[in-house]
């Protein structure tokens, strides 16, 4: 009885108050100065290491020994960066080019194959659909990264070791991508549209191409973004299978850290340079990235 009245009271209060503010939770959760300063602190922790690297990277060899926690950047960042980029052992330009090639091809491929499979899993009827989808999801839990030894043997035998295809081929499909597109198309693509296209005589592939693909666009863009970042930052397998001419950016960065270990201003300038491309991408697409993570979380 008492709970009943409480619930009723809560409901009536909620109803009464609802029109005043459209923002959910506005009444309960007004952040105080404590909330803002906490977030400010988190933000400082997120930015400070990068700023610090820039500070050291813009000084000279002695900056690191000055022991200042917060200081202004020095004048040498461009010089240091150029010295790193033009160094023939580190091969930075080639590495950036390779990273762009690998990440772009992998993103496009994953998006295409994931959309194709996601369309089949969400909208087409065929025998074994449920079981096969379960299998795809189960592979997410398999640490395939550990199977580097045979993968390396295979790549050597195919004469692909030391070439970009050695990194691209194993990454062309993604279980996460298939799962992601299946989830999205499930609710975003109405059956009526597919049936209409079929009635008009479109082939299965034509239906996919002109109906499913366009409506998958928002999710596909987010997936492309994730895969691009994931591929760009990937280190373990590229480090094993690539060589000096085929290295991607993280591999080049590891070479840099091994070659210059007495001059931290150069190493850290290199680290900052390596962050820049994705940082620019983040400035442009960060909003979508946040949205993608949050939407994926609700579904997953």
Q: How many residues bind other proteins (CB under 8 A)?
A: 106
Q: What is the dihedral of CA 283, 96, 152, 165, to 10 degrees?
A: 90
Q: Of 90, 111, 117, 164, which lies in the binding site for other proteins, with binding defined by CB under 8 A?
A: 117
Per CB under 8 A, which of residues 255..294 are in contact with other proteins? 257-258, 261, 264, 267-268, 271, 274-275, 278-279, 281-282, 286-287, 289-290, 293-294
* CA pseudo-torsion sign 47, 234, 104, 183: negative
Q: Is 146 in the site for other proteins (CB under 8 A)?
A: yes
Q: Is 199 in the site for other proteins (CB under 8 A)?
A: no
Q: Which helix (H) or strand (E) holds 161?
A: none
Q: Is 159 in the site for other proteins (CB under 8 A)?
A: no
Q: Is 193 in the site for other proteins (CB under 8 A)?
A: no
Q: Which is nearer to other proteins, 67 or 159 (CB)?
A: 67
Euclidean distance between CA atoms 85 and 230, whole angstroms: 23
Contact 197, 236 (CB under 8 A): no
Hey, how many other C-beta atoms are within 10 angstroms of the C-beta on 263? 15
Per CB under 8 A, which of residues 120..139 are in contact with other proteins? 120-121, 124-126, 129, 132, 136, 139
Query: C-beta of 181: minimal distance to other proteins in Å?
Result: 11
Contact 174, 110 (CB under 8 A): yes
Per CB under 8 A, which of residues 47..66 are in contact with other proteins? 47, 49-50, 52-53, 56, 64-65
Q: Is 77 in the site for other proteins (CB under 8 A)?
A: no
Q: Is 233 in the site for other proteins (CB under 8 A)?
A: yes
Q: Of 204, 210, 217, 245, which lies in the binding site for other proteins, with binding defined by CB under 8 A?
A: 204
Hey, how many other C-beta atoms are within 10 angstroms of the C-beta on 268? 25
Q: What's the alpha-carbon Rg for the chain, to the nearest Å?
A: 25
CA triple 159-163-165, angle to 5 deg? 90
């Amino acid at each position: 009885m008492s709970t009943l009245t409480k619930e009723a009271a809560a409901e009536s209060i909620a109803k009464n108050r609802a029109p005043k503010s459209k923002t959910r939770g506005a009444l309960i959760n007004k952040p105080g100065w404590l909330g803002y300063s906490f977030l400010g602190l988190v933000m400082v922790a997120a930015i400070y290491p990068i700023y610090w690297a820039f500070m050291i990277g813009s000084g000279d060899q002695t900056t690191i020994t000055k022991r200042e926690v917060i200081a202004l950047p020095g004048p040498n960042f461009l010089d240091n960066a150029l010295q790193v980029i033009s160094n023939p052992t580190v091969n930075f330009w080639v590495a950036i080019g390779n990273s762009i090639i690998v990440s772009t091809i992998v993103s496009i491929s994953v998006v295409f194959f994931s959309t194709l499979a996601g369309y089949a899993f969400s909208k087409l009827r065929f025998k074994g659909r449920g079981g096969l989808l379960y299998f795809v999801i189960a592979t997410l839990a398999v640490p395939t990264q550990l199977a580097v030894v045979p993968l390396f043997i295979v790549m050597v035998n195919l004469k692909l070791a030391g070439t970009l295809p050695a990194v691209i081929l194993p990454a062309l499909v993604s279980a996460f991508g298939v799962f992601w597109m299946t989830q999205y198309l499930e609710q975003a693509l109405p059956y009526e549209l597919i049936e209409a296209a079929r009635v008009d005589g479109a082939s299965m592939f034509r239906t996919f191409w002109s109906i499913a693909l366009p409506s998958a666009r928002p999710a596909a863009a987010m997936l492309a973004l994730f895969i691009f970042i994931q591929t760009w930052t990937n280190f373990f397998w590229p480090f094993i299978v690539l060589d000096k001419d085929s290295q991607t950016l993280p591999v080049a960065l590891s070479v840099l850290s091994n070659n210059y270990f007495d001059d931290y201003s150069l190493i850290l300038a290199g680290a900052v340079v390596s962050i820049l491309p994705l940082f620019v991408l983040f400035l442009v697409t960060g909003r979508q990235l946040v949205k993608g993570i949050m939407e994926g979380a609700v579904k997953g």
